[in-house]
Structure 1
Amino acid sequence: MDRRAFVQKTLTASTAIAAMPSLLVPNSTEELILGHNSHRYRIDTKWGKLDPSRYPVKDCHEMVQDSQGRILLLTNHTKNNVLVYDKSGKLLESWGTEYPGAHGLTLSRENGEDFLFISDNDRHQVIKTTIDGKVVMTLDHPKESGHYEKADQYIPTEVAIGPNGDIYVADGYGAQWVTQYSHAGEFIRSFGGRGNQPENLQNAHGICLDTRDKNNPTLIVSAREENAFKKYSLSGEYLATIPLPGAYVCRPVIHGDYLYAAVLKSRAYGDDPSGFVTILDKENKVVSNLAGSTPTYSGTTPNEMYQTIKVFIYPHDVCIDDEENMYVAQWNSGHVYPYKLNRI
């Protein structure tokens, strides 16, 4: 399903989620604790709220923490595509008016300097900027790959940066290829692509570098319509599938020994806004679901997961800060600002 089709389906979603007997709708989130086992959090829905007339957000797509400890939010509102907060939720600065399809935000640290990679759906480009928004590189559709005849077939959603500076772009709303470039932006190869084989991808929405095995870094790519992540080598060889039944997973985020991901919605509720956040350990076993079902397994595969507490609407990304707290950005959720979840 491409982005336009998904948006259209969500516009016609019913309110059946509120009637599900397993779903809890809290009267207040002030003392609400989310999660399981060692990863439990207290949610703050007021963090980061701003005057929408001055700092409007459309869809809050992704967030990162820079080397100064600041939290950067990417939104597709062109009055201010990037909002920069401190960890208390105070706005420090804003910039960006030229990214109408701003979707993916990736931080890269090079020679002591922070850079950002913005994946823009509408521009069909990936744009590399300094931390304050100066453009230093633009990657157009990869015609060298032979997979694209025109730019609008290419709808990049996320970028990962390899240990040597190689750039990996996931075309999550286009033809589903992951394109690898050198640090200088030279085409190297494409892998994945739409199809029904294990190495193929269905909705390659997110991508990250997995450094949890320090001697063998790999890539993890979302296969959202397959309710899974897929692992690849740095040269694009398919390695494994990580099944997550019921979970339409967005970008994988590695922090320490854990993988974190926003789950846009759960299959149990169809197209209703019913997301949660899932956390996997170093062996890629689910250990906690925030606003979701208790992790249980049948053999080596998780049992189907679903939302149990209605606090998120289409969560799209998570950011884990240097104090182990979490920030959640939400798509198509009434223009809400990000939530902060304090680790307990």
Structure 2
Amino acid sequence: MKPYFLGILTLVSICQYQFAHAQTEVQPVRMGCGIMTFDTVPGWGLRPDGNSAVGSTHGGVVIDKAGNIFFSAKEGVFVFSPDGKVIQSYLGKEYANMHDIEIRSEEDGEFIYGARNVDAEGVKFNAHSGEIVLHLGVPEESGLKGKIQLKPTAITVAPNGDIFLSNGYASNHIFKYDKTGKYLMHFGEKGNGMKQFNTAHGMTVDTRYDPPRLLICDRNHEPKGRLLHYTLDGEFIEEIITGLGMPTSASIQGDYVSVPDLRGRLVILDKTNTIMSVLGYNPDIARGRQFNIPQSEWVEGIFNGTHGSFWDADGNLYVQDWNVDGRIRKLVRVKP
């Protein structure tokens, strides 16, 4: 991105910050540019008393076929209606600490797949009954059981049902299982080389291409975070973009992908992996990548530890921060 464009983004973000603070009542903030322009929805997802409904957040976002929005948080998974009301929740030790979630419609219902970094497993559960039907760990057949820690950061599912689980907070292996949980293979290793991962933090199946491929967020790669493509057989394709700060996850809709950056912004790329828009850019370096920003200090239109995102059918975005009080947002896409 050209320096003058970054300067404009910084100026716009500062103006948004000043504008938000100047209001007695919080007003929507417009962000982005061109066809990727959005308005914030102040207060979306808060309880009637004005406080966060989800508690501490370090997770992801998905949406079911009915349009309900699932946010994973420290305490479990919370389900919201499009207007921001909690309509269901799955709480307790079995649903806690899902660092990343993915939803998939299958023959016998809709299922959520979760990567539980603190609890050292991948899981699959029914999105509407909560029944857990699959647990994933380090497979015996991999030769790694007992030799590595499992701290998974991302999970995704191929069109044929194969499951990929990224051990991004530990060995940086990516494990591949079939739809029943049978081990198939693993690939990757920790490091800073072209074909190594320095925190394989986020991952999804990139359906912008035929055949689909894995899109992996290499969050801590030096000098700055990057996105990579791999085949579904674990073969390196290419490094598609660098300089993204600390990319945490990826969500695909059509030809576009939204990529949260933990430093406090969300980047939207097109099919050529060119930056189309930057949302919520935080000009204060000290408050980007910052977990301990209490709700009393949230600023409308300015992001902090941006961690998860998902598109709805209308092209709106739902975004979650890594945040002590549980910050979640709805961004409404402005129609041309």
TM-score (norm. length: structure 1) = 0.80
Shift in alpha-carbon separation, 1:218–1:246, aligned structure 2, 3 A: closer
What secondary structure, in the 3-state scheme, does the structure 2 residue paired with 1:144 have? helix
* 2:106 corresponds to 1:117: no
* 2:317 corresponds to 1:326: yes
Aligned partner (choices 27, 46, 49) of residue 49 of structure 1: 46
Which residue in 1 is equivalent to 2:330? 340
* 2:279 corresponds to 1:290: yes
Moved over 6 A (4+): none
Structure 1 residue 287, shift from structure 2 partner:
0.8
Shift in alpha-carbon separation, 1:202–1:342, aligned structure 2, 3 A: same
Using the alignment, how far apart are the partners of 1:22 and 1:163 within structure 2?
40
Matches within 5 A, 1:99-178: 99-111=95-107, 113-131=109-127, 132-150=129-147, 153-178=149-174
Which residue in 1 is equivalent to 2:261? 263
> Structure 2, unaligned stretches of length 5 or more?
1-9, 21-25, 283-287, 290-299
1:120-140 deviation line (CA, Å, top 9, x unaligned) = 112100111001311101112
Aligned partner (choices 55, 71, 74) of residue 73 of structure 1: 71
Using the alignment, how far apart are the partners of 1:45 and 1:23 within structure 2?
17
Taking only the aligned residue pairs, the percentage that are identical comes to 27
Root-mean-square deviation (CA, aligned residues, Å) is: 2.4
Which residue in 2 is equivalent to 1:272? none
Which residue in 1 is equivalent to 2:242? 244
For 1:114, the aligned partner's letter is E
Further displaced range: 89-98 or 138-147: 138-147
Which residue in 1 is equivalent to 2:295? none
Structure 1 residue 30, shift from structure 2 partner:
1.7
For 2:102, the aligned partner's letter is T
Using the alignment, how far apart are the partners of 2:91 and 2:195 within structure 1?
36
Matches within 5 A, 1:165-204: 165-204=161-200
> Structure 1, unaligned stretches of length 5 or more?
1-19, 266-274, 294-305
For 1:218, the aligned partner's letter is R
For 1:224, the aligned partner's letter is R
What secondary structure, in the 3-state scheme, does the structure 1 residue paired with 2:303 have? coil
Contact 2:281 2:302 (C-alpha < 8 Å) held by counterparts: no
For 1:196, the aligned partner's letter is N
Contact 2:61 2:72 (C-alpha < 8 Å) held by counterparts: yes
1:96-146 deviation line (CA, Å, top 9, x unaligned) = 211443211111111161001121112100111001311101112234222
Structure 1 residue 83, shift from structure 2 partner:
1.0
Aligned partner (choices 238, 246, 268) of residue 279 of structure 1: 268
What secondary structure, in the 3-state scheme, does the structure 1 residue paired with 2:330 have? strand
What secondary structure, in the 3-state scheme, does the structure 2 residue paired with 1:205 have? strand
Shift in alpha-carbon separation, 1:31–1:89, aligned structure 2, 3 A: closer
Which residue in 2 is equivalent to 1:26? 18
Structure 1 residue 277, shift from structure 2 partner:
0.4
Contact 1:177 1:190 (C-alpha < 8 Å) held by counterparts: yes
Structure 1 residue 37, shift from structure 2 partner:
2.1
* 2:304 corresponds to 1:313: yes
Structure 1 residue 241, shift from structure 2 partner:
0.6
What secondary structure, in the 3-state scheme, does the structure 2 residue paired with 1:247 have? coil
Using the alignment, how far apart are the partners of 2:191 and 2:58 within structure 1?
30
Shift in alpha-carbon separation, 1:54–1:317, aligned structure 2, 3 A: closer
Structure 1 residue 147, shift from structure 2 partner:
3.3
